Amino acid sequence: MGAAQRNYYGKALARLAKERDDVVVLDADLAGSTKTSEFKKVAPERFVEVGIAEQDMIGVASGLAASGKTVFASTFAVFATGRCWEQIRLAVAYPKQNVKIVSTHCGISVGEDGASHQALEDIAIMRAIPNMVVISPADAHQAYAATMAIAEERGPCYMRLGRADFPLIYPEDVKFEIGKADILREGSDVTLIGTGQMVSYCLDAAKALSEEGISAEVINISTIKPLDADAVIGSVKKTGCAVTAEEHSIIGGLGSAVAEAISESCPVPLVRVGTKDTFGESGKAEMLMEKYGLTAKDIVKAAKDSISKKR
């Protein structure tokens, strides 16, 4: 059973519209796709359609936040992190404004829209900005819970969501704690660390590995920044090697964050599963995930490679 994260983001916004008078939502001409339209149905007087003007959207968001509002600003990830980087850096992150930038249509599974719309660099871009929290939920239920959590947290936040249906991993009433990793499966031979929809592939890979007598621990890193380094280091100390899996470039994303943490505290073999310094292309989502090495089979192969490098 699967569900689209963006749909549950819309549901969470609709709930916030009823419960919080301080919440304002902005969109850049994509409300039907990002599902911010669900907020508009409940509180149209607190919804601002900025149009195709992403830089202006961030400026307006900053101003509203400075006046005491909790602001959600949404569009596709390539536009949210690319077109208005300077505005995010100087108008949101630098003054620590209470703005939540929530992007949809992340990763290569956007499919037929092609390279121009497949954000494979957004985590890296936002991770590098001081004061910015970076979140990538594992499924739709966690996306809902994360939306409610960041509404309570003051300060800048970036959250990336997918376009397509993802398998559901968590129960509907899951709680989300910013900066906390979840160990979804315990193991002793290798640590599989996933984010976003790749978490479900990590679980599939762990099951396949167990059939070959290999015990894999699975960790969901939904908050990439701040990283739960204690959970990562604690696991790799036990297993002695690791694999990271993300629907994002291996440069600057989850793989880089984990590599930085373990290299400083507990150096072990690490293999990163993600796109390899490349743009995507147009095609069916499943075919693209396979072509670019983002499947459970690729994680299984990476796990065996990581294990083989143990001292």
Q: How confident is the model at residue 54, as a pLDDT?
A: 97
Q: What type of residue is 134?
A: V
Residue 99 has pLDDT above 90, yes or no: yes
Q: Average pLDDT, stretch 116-141? A: 97
Residue 272 has pLDDT above 90, yes or no: yes
Per the structure, how many domains does the chain have? Answer: 2
Q: How far is it, in rounded angstroms, from Cα 140 to Cα 212?
A: 31
Q: What percent of the chain has pLDDT over 70?
A: 100
Q: How confident is the model at residue 100, as a pLDDT?
A: 98
Look over the chain and give the mean of its residue pLDDT values, rounded to a whole number: 97
Q: Which two tokens stand for residue 16?
A: 């916030």
Model confidence over 148-162: pLDDT tens digits? 999 999 999 999 999
Model confidence over 278-291: pLDDT tens digits? 999 999 999 999 99
The model's pTM is: 0.96
- 158 lies in the same domain as 46: yes
Kindly indicate the confidence band of residue 191, based on its pLDDT and cuts at 50, 70 and 90. Answer: very high
Burial (CB count <10 Å: 0-12, 13-18, 19+), residue 9:
buried
Q: Which two tokens stand for residue 291?
A: 């072509």
- 198 lies in the same domain as 153: no
Q: How confident is the model at residue 204, as a pLDDT?
A: 98
- 159 lies in the same domain as 46: yes
DSSP H helical ranges for 44-100: 54-66, 77-82, 85-87
Catalytic residue among 38, 54, 121, 247: 54
Residue 111 has pLDDT above 90, yes or no: no
Q: How confident is the model at residue 2, as a pLDDT?
A: 87
Our CA angle for 216, 219, 224, nearest 5°, is: 145
Residue 247 annotated among the catalytic residues of the structure: no
- 158 lies in the same domain as 194: no
Q: How confident is the model at residue 311, as a pLDDT?
A: 77
Residue 200 has pLDDT above 90, yes or no: yes
- 12 lies in the same domain as 93: yes
- 157 lies in the same domain as 17: yes
Q: Do the Cβ atoms of 229 and 195 come closer than 8 Å?
A: no
Model confidence over 30-40: pLDDT tens digits? 999 999 999 99
Domain that holds residue 129: 2-167
Q: How confident is the model at residue 30, as a pLDDT?
A: 96
Does 129 map to a domain?
yes
- 91 lies in the same domain as 162: yes
Model confidence over 44-91: pLDDT tens digits? 999 999 999 999 999 999 999 999 999 999 999 999 999 999 999 999
Residues in the chain: 311
Q: Which residues pair with 76 in a beta bridge?
A: 104
Kindly indicate the confidence band of residue 251, based on its pLDDT and cuts at 50, 70 and 90. Answer: very high
CA dihedral 34, 37, 40, 42 (to 10 degrees): -110
- 50 lies in the same domain as 158: yes
Please report, for the domain that includes residue 299, its CATH number. Answer: 3.40.50.920
Q: Average pLDDT, stretch 165-187? A: 96
Q: Average pLDDT, stretch 193-211? A: 98
